[in-house]
Chains A and B, each alone.
Chain A
Amino acid sequence: MARADSFADGNSITPPPRQFGQARRVAHFEIKYLQYLNHLGEVAEELPEFAQERGQLLALYRAMVLTRTFDKKAIALQRTGKLGTYASSLGQEAAAVGVGAAMAKQDVLLPAYREYGAQFLRGVSMTEILLYWGGDERGMNYGAQAEDFPICVPIATHAPHAVGVAYAMKLRGQARVAVCALGDGATSKGDFYEAVNIAGAWQLPLVFIVNNNQWAISVSRAAQTRAETLAQKAIAAGIPGEQVDGNDVIAVRERVAQALDTARHGGGPRLIEALTYRMGDHTTADDASRYRPGDEVEQQRQYDPIARLHKYLARCGEWSQQQDDALYAECEAKVDAAVKDYLATPAVAPESMFDYLYEKLPVALRTQRESLSSQGESGNG
Chain B
Amino acid sequence: MAVMMYWEAIRRAHDEEMTRDPLVICMGEDIGVAGGTYKATQGLYDKYGPERVIDTPISENSYTGLGIGASFLGVRPIIEIMSVNFAWLATDQIFNSAAKVRYMSGGQLTAPVVIRSPGGTAHQLGAQHSARMEKVFMGVAGLRVVTPSSPKQAYGMLKSAVRCDDPVFIYEHELMYNMKGEVPDAEYFHPLEGSEVTRSGKDVTLFGYNISVHWCMQAAEQLAKNGIDCEVIDLYTLSPLDRAGIQKSVSKTHRAVVVEEAEAAVGVGSEVMAIINEECFFDLDAAPVRVSAVNVPIPYNHRLEKATIPNAKSVMAAVRKLLGK
Contacts and interface: CB of A to CB of B under 8 A. Distances in A.
Interface of A: 84-85, 132, 135-137, 153-156, 185-186, 188-190, 216-219, 223-225, 290-291, 347-348, 350, 352-354, 357, 365, 368, 372, 375, 377, 379-381
Contacts of A372: 294, 307
Given A217-B30, A218-B34, A372-B294, A137 B85 contact: no
Given A188-B58, A189-B60, A381-B313, 10 more contacts: A85-B124, A137-B299, A156-B58, A185-B58, A216-B58, A223-B55, A290-B33, A350-B307, A379-B304, A381-B309
A122 B310 CA distance: 40
A202 B188 CA distance: 57
A127 to B, nearest CB: 16
A185 to B, nearest CB: 5
20 contacts: A84-B124, A135-B124, A154-B85, A189-B58, A189-B60, A190-B89, A218-B55, A219-B55, A224-B57, A224-B58, A225-B57, A350-B303, A350-B304, A352-B304, A357-B296, A377-B303, A379-B307, A380-B307, A381-B311, A381-B313
A380 B313 CA distance: 7
B259 to A, nearest CB: 13
Which range holds the interface residue count of chain B?
Answer: 35 or more
B29 interface: yes
Contact of A137 (B30, B58, B300, B309): B300
Contact of B58 (A135, A186, A350, A357): A186
A350 B305 CA distance: 9
Nearest to B61: A190
Interface in B291-325: 294-297, 299-311, 313-314
Contact of B306 (A153, A291, A379): A379
Q: Which of A137, A350, A353 has the most CB of B within 10 A?
A: A353
Contact of A190 (B62, B309, B314): B62
Contacts of A84: 124, 300
A185 B313 contact: no
B308 to A, nearest CB: 7
Interface in B250-306: 294-297, 299-306
Contacts of A217: 29-30, 34
A154 B303 contact: no
Interface of B: 29-30, 32-35, 55, 57-62, 85-86, 89, 124, 126-129, 294-297, 299-311, 313-314
B12 to A, nearest CB: 21
A357 B311 CA distance: 23
A380 B310 contact: yes
Contacts of B128: 153-154
A62 to B, nearest CB: 31
Contacts of A353: 294, 296, 299, 304, 307-308
Given A136-B301, A368-B294, A190 B30 contact: no
Contact of B303 (A185, A186, A290, A347): A347
A375 B306 CA distance: 12
A134 B112 CA distance: 42
Contacts of A223: 55, 57
Instruction: State the 9 A-B residue pairs at the shortest beta-carbon distance, nearest first.
Output: A379-B307, A188-B57, A218-B34, A381-B306, A135-B300, A135-B124, A350-B307, A291-B33, A353-B296
